[in-house]
Amino acid sequence: MSRMLFTSESVTEGHPDKVCDKVSDAVLDAILAEDSSARVACESFCSTNIINIMGEISTKADINIEKIVRDTVCEIGYNDDSLGFNGNTCKVILNIDKQSPDIAMGVDSSLEYKDGIKDVYNLTGAGDQGMMFGYASNETPELMPMPVFLAHKLSKKLTDVRKSGEIGYLRPDGKTQVTIEYRDGKPYRADAIVVSTQHDDGVDIKTLRSDILQKVIKPIIPGELLDDETSVYINPTGRFVLGGPAGDTGLTGRKIIVDTYGGMARHGGGAFSGKDPTKVDRSAAYAARYVAKNIVAAGIADKCEIQIAYAIGVASPVSVMVDTFGTGKYADEKIAEAVKRVFDLRPAAIIDKLNLLRPIYTKTTNYGHFGRQDADFTWENTDKTEELKAAISEVI
């Protein structure tokens, strides 16, 4: 029997990096609501009572970015000067330019289209070079790795009990971490749970630890995963009053492992938040999850990782790779061939199939971009399983 411990973390929406992610996605959504053809690359950084919005945006939309920023920060929960960051009073600095024309010329008309291949999906070239990964595993019903899935649920619960007032002394910043023991490659038990949550000054640490255990951890972590050997750490330093942007600088795109698979799968490096779907960093990563999830849902493999790579200004991927880690029913190269027959992975085709030109991105910012049960998360659909099975039969 093989034994392995694997750990993943999550953070709440009040974490300074996630404040920036959410602000960037809120700006993107406001623009897409008025102009679905906009090109948006919006990044943010924040510190004590200041937030800077930067990027390249080309759009016909007429939006009030400063108001969007302030409303988003207040909605997260930073709405009082005593927290060191207040959406009502913080300084908002805007540094926005238009998309580079050198990039736009490759996105607006792909190399294939310029060469006379006038397919409608060749009209849009990839917005950058790069490689994107997608992953799925049958260890949870959502086909996600268990450590990151449970860490996200803990973070979401932390936010819920704070905003509902169930634990009224909590503040917006928080982090969670889950270590799962695997035996023979399958989740067996929870080895360690870590929850660190910001709180009001003067809160008794024993009260806080009891409340978090009873109202956050136990409702989320399945009882069969907990045993006498499970280590539980709740605010292990004993104090977490100074937090959020007042405690640490935040930056868009710095939580890419939290956003994806908690380290269980590889990551190409590109962040998601603040980017419109012509940026393959986002859209192709969503498509890769869509492909991997359908492979696992079809029973073709127990777990699957997909890599898709692009060249800037070129519509078709330069490579598609499948790795099933020895769990596939067929050779990985045969599965990859079936993937290419079933899925059109050109950027315009991805955008069309997954309906990505909608203002849906603010809700993706927190608790993971994958494994979520929400109709707007179209990349979580498993509607290609039968086509994949048929394609596999044709290529073997």
In contact, 253 and 54? CB cutoff 8 Å: no
Res. 126: pLDDT tops 80: yes
Looking only at Cα atoms, what is the longest distance across the chain? Answer: 70
- Which bin fits 65, alpha (ψ -120 to 50), beta or left (φ > 0)? alpha
Average pLDDT over residues 44-60: 95
- pLDDT tens digits, one per residue of 364-385: 999 999 999 999 999 999 999 9
Q: Give the rounded percent of residues in the chain with a pLDDT score beyond 70.
A: 99
Res. 169: pLDDT tops 70: yes
- pLDDT value, residue 98: 87
The 8-class DSSP code of residue 127 comes to S
**All residues at 6 or more sequence positions from 223 whose CB lies less than 8 Å from its CB, including other chains:** none
Q: Which residues are paired to 96 by β-bridges? A: 55
How far apart CA 276 and CA 295 sit, in angstroms, is: 27
Average pLDDT over residues 219-223: 97
Other beta carbons within 10 angstroms of residue 284's beta carbon come to: 30
How far apart CA 276 and CA 361 sit, in angstroms, is: 9
Tell me which residue of 309, 326, 284 sits closest to 184, measured CA to CA. 326
- pLDDT tens digits, one per residue of 175-192: 999 999 999 999 999 999
The three-point CA angle 375-260-299 to 5° equals 70
What's the predicted TM-score (pTM) here? 0.95
Enter the tokens of residue 40. 């948006």
Res. 104: pLDDT tops 80: no
Band of the pLDDT at 70, cuts 50, 70, 90? very high
Tell me which residue of 53, 134, 57 sits closest to 95, measured CA to CA. 53
- pLDDT tens digits, one per residue of 229-255: 999 999 999 999 999 999 999 999 999
Higher pLDDT, residue 113 or 42 = 42
Res. 105: pLDDT tops 70: no
Average pLDDT over residues 40-61: 95
